[in-house]
Chains A and B, each alone.
Chain A
Amino acid sequence: MKKDIILAGVGGQGILSIAATIGTAAVNSNLFLKQAEVHGMSQRGGDVQSHLRLSSKKIFSDLIPQSKADLIISVEPMEALRYLPMLSPDGWVITNINAFDNIANYPDIDKVLDKIKSLPKHIAIDADKIAKDIGSPRSANIVVLGAATPFLDLDYSSLEDALKSIFGNKGNKVIRANLDALKAGKEFAENNLY
């Protein structure tokens, strides 16, 4: 088993929670893991990414080689496109469709979404709406993670367990909200696979 995943978003959007969830699930499934994160300056509203590498064999590089990523998981649509050079020719893009517009020259969102929809393998999900609908608007990032679960080659229950341990000290309500978010994302993806 080997999965190379680019996580993308904007500083403060919660991609490190996604990384921690997949990471914890992977380690508990006895896989090797490397996870390169962005700390520091870019966290101030800049673009951030994390290289997440899971494998049943020893992993060398902390960075995914260009054109070798199996998945791009993004909580922001333009950010998903930023990492296309990293994606393998048969890789998947799973992305939220809601723009995080904190710059003066954000492109026409329709053009961004058209580009995403032109990719052969993609899941474009309205994670903000789904998160709101299930009553946990702050879990949009976990909805996106949910939509990626069919592609991760990890037991779904191992991801649930990871959420429970990561949000363990925040109380049952927060855990429930995140588990619901994960499930809603997964269901969306399963209904929109083509």
Chain B
Amino acid sequence: MQKLLLLGDEAIAQGAIDVGVSGIYAYPGTPSTEITEYVQKSKEAKEKNIRSEWSANEKTAMESAIGMSYAGKRAMVCMKHVGLNVAADGFINSAITGANGGLVIVAADDPSMHSSQNEQDSRFYGKFAMIPILEPANQQEAYDMVSYGFEYSEKMKIPVLMRITTRLAHSRSGVERKKSIKQNAVNLPENLKQYILLPAIARKQYKVLLNNQEKFIEESENSNFNNYYDNENKKLGIITCGIAYNYLAENFEDQKIPYPVLSIRQYPAPIKQIEKIYDECDEILVLEEGAPVIEELLKGLLNKGKTIKGRLDGTIPRDGELNPKIVADALGIIYDETENIPGIVAGRPPSFCPGCSHIDSYKALNEALRDYSKGRVFADIGCYTLGALEPFNAINSCVDMGASITMAIGASEAGLVPAIAVIGDSTFTHSGMTGLLDAVNNNSSITVLIMDNSTTGMTGGQKSSALGKIEQICIGLGVEKEHLHVLKPLKKYHEENANIIKSELKYNGVSVIIPRRECVQTLNKRMRKKLKVQVTENVLKQI
């Protein structure tokens, strides 16, 4: 079969299509977004009727997938690492209910925080939930592991976590497809009480999970995704996790790696192989993309055994993603000297696109706040977070999705009145609505700006769940009509917009202001498409 040139994300998506998945549930988030986008664009997926529309957030995605699994079909949930925090309640408890139809959760971690607010390692979550974890080392393996993961999930009746990181997610390579299989039919769990986590049932179910732990370890020890390479030089044994193996192999190109190597891509960790490498080698070096998960397990609290090198002893930097050079340094391999980055090179951080509506919204907000002391704007996550940069300096926080409104509530109750919340349209329906309900119920003195560019901008313009619904939601939650305004963020309305914001800042209650103008990126895309359709229509007319 001809190889497809796929991103790691796309390989996972193609794997899901081919292995009879009936539904992909996801909320966008770098570096996971392209999994769902690939399925949405796939003709095959359409023909097979695989559902793949965006969910409002990761929790709703996770729970919908649990429902599909309950009904006997294969479901996949995709999210970025911090999305798993949002989905965590359903995720952890799905390990107790167990799976019926195969259930695979893909969490895409972002070490080095290329597009994230932290670099948490999702393997902790897998361990926390006590479920198997798969961590592919390359695009082909990402494809293959999807089918393995679903079979595992159905065989052991357990959700399976697949953990990837940015470099695999966003790197392209050749992938060979396997034969595609049919979807499951609807088929309810044998025990219709399995999913009722009343304490009496949950206790039983939890025992099942605990009893399965040994089997999971056995599966890992016998897995083709955990490989032991025995080599001569036992002064050092190297344990690699996921893509870390690639950086090791890169440094030995045509030569054999002299040391024994254990390459782990399936968890719980394969204890037999770890014991072997530990017993046979004088020292151990652990190479992990992310947190020192295996390293910490090996060291234990007291660290009284052999020398374990890795992120904890400084052999590898404690934070940030790995690369070939970091691994070379750890092994004493020396690279050619090269030029440093010349001093004249300036940093080029991301910035607002020219013409972005957020620019005009922030200018109006800054104007309205001119007579107040600084430090009262609680923002959220999205393109509008770039309001933190010069020349705007317009915001004072960005913590987690939805935290703008709720932080403003707390700050206003501490006496910071007025407090302002700035939140995007997609973020608002992701997790701002419940906070707004709190504000209304508390009658908090806050002014909420819902920056409506009618898309999920930061992640590349996915459809926003909020589209066309924001005013109704606000009114439904109890925001007073007189204190709900829609503005057009354009230069020519600057004065008018600033004045509306200014007068609402004086109101002792909840105000919502919605600056609304379409994202210039999606507008451009739409115009180009329209143009193309028009051109085709004109051509057709001429024929």
Contacts and interface: CB of A to CB of B under 8 A. Distances in A.
Contacts of B232: none
Interface in A69-116: 78-79, 81-82, 84-89, 102-108, 111-112, 115
B501 interface: no
Interface stretch (B303-311, B339-347, B360-368, B483-491): B339-347
A44 B461 CA distance: 12
Contacts of B336: 67-68, 88-89
A37 B171 contact: yes
Interface in B474-490: none
A89 B338 contact: yes
Interface string A14-51: 00000000011001000011111111111111110001
A63 interface: yes
Contacts of B335: 65-68
Nearest to B539: A171
A191 interface: no
Nearest to B172: A35
A10 interface: yes
A62 B342 contact: no
Given A40-B115, A65-B335, A103 B346 contact: yes
A40 to B, nearest CB: 3
B383 A44 contact: yes
Nearest to B246: A60
B350 A45 contact: yes
Contact of B167 (A23, A46, A63): A63
A46 B31 CA distance: 17
A157 interface: no
B31 A40 contact: yes
B346 A33 contact: no
Contacts of A66: 323-325, 335, 338
Contacts of A104: 390
Nearest to B391: A104
A23 B172 CA distance: 9
Given A61-B247, A61-B250, A65-B323, A46 B349 contact: yes
B344 A112 contact: yes
Contacts of A111: 344
B186 interface: no
Contacts of B459: 40
B170 A37 contact: yes
Contact of A33 (B33, B172, B353, B458): B172
Contact of A27 (B3, B34, B115, B353): B3
A146 interface: no
B351 interface: yes
Contacts of A185: none
Contacts of B185: none
Contact of B341 (A34, A85, A89, A103): A85
A104 B390 CA distance: 9
Contacts of A103: 346-349, 351
A82 B383 CA distance: 25
A177 B63 CA distance: 50
Nearest to B110: A40
B386 to A, nearest CB: 7
Contacts, number: 160
Contacts of A64: 324
Given A44-B383, A61-B246, A85-B339, A107 B345 contact: yes
A81 B345 contact: yes
Interface string B107-141: 00000001100000000000000000000000000
B328 interface: yes
A68 B250 CA distance: 11
A11 to B, nearest CB: 7
B345 to A, nearest CB: 5
Contacts of A34: 171-173
B168 interface: yes
A44 B5 contact: no
Given A37-B170, A66-B335, A89-B336, A46 B348 contact: yes
| Most chain B CB neighbours (cut-off 10 Å) among A39, A103, A106, A112 | A39
Contacts of B247: 60-61, 63
B167 A62 contact: yes
B7 interface: yes
B61 interface: no
Given A39-B30, A88-B336, A62 B346 contact: no
B350 A44 contact: yes
Contact of B338 (A46, A61, A86, A102): A86
B170 A11 contact: no
A64 B33 CA distance: 24
Contacts of B345: 78, 81-82, 107
Given A65-B335, A81-B345, A102 B351 contact: yes
A33 B5 contact: yes
B527 interface: no
A84 B343 CA distance: 12
A194 to B, nearest CB: 20
B47 interface: no
Given A33-B174, A115-B342, A41 B324 contact: no
Contacts of B507: none
Contacts of A23: 5, 172
Contacts of B386: 44
Contacts of B229: none
Interface string B30-42: 1101100000000
B338 A37 contact: no
Contact of B346 (A84, A88, A106): A106
Given A33-B173, A84-B340, 17 more contacts: A27-B3, A35-B172, A37-B172, A39-B170, A41-B115, A45-B351, A46-B349, A46-B350, A60-B247, A62-B168, A62-B246, A66-B338, A67-B336, A78-B346, A86-B338, A103-B349, A107-B346
Interface of B: 3, 5, 7, 30-31, 33-34, 114-115, 167-168, 170-174, 243, 245-247, 249-251, 323-325, 328, 335-342, 344-353, 383, 386, 390, 458-460
17 contacts: A36-B167, A36-B170, A36-B171, A39-B115, A41-B114, A44-B352, A44-B386, A46-B349, A46-B351, A61-B246, A66-B325, A84-B340, A85-B340, A85-B341, A86-B338, A102-B348, A115-B342
Closest 4 CB pairs of A and B: A40-B30, A40-B115, A65-B324, A62-B171
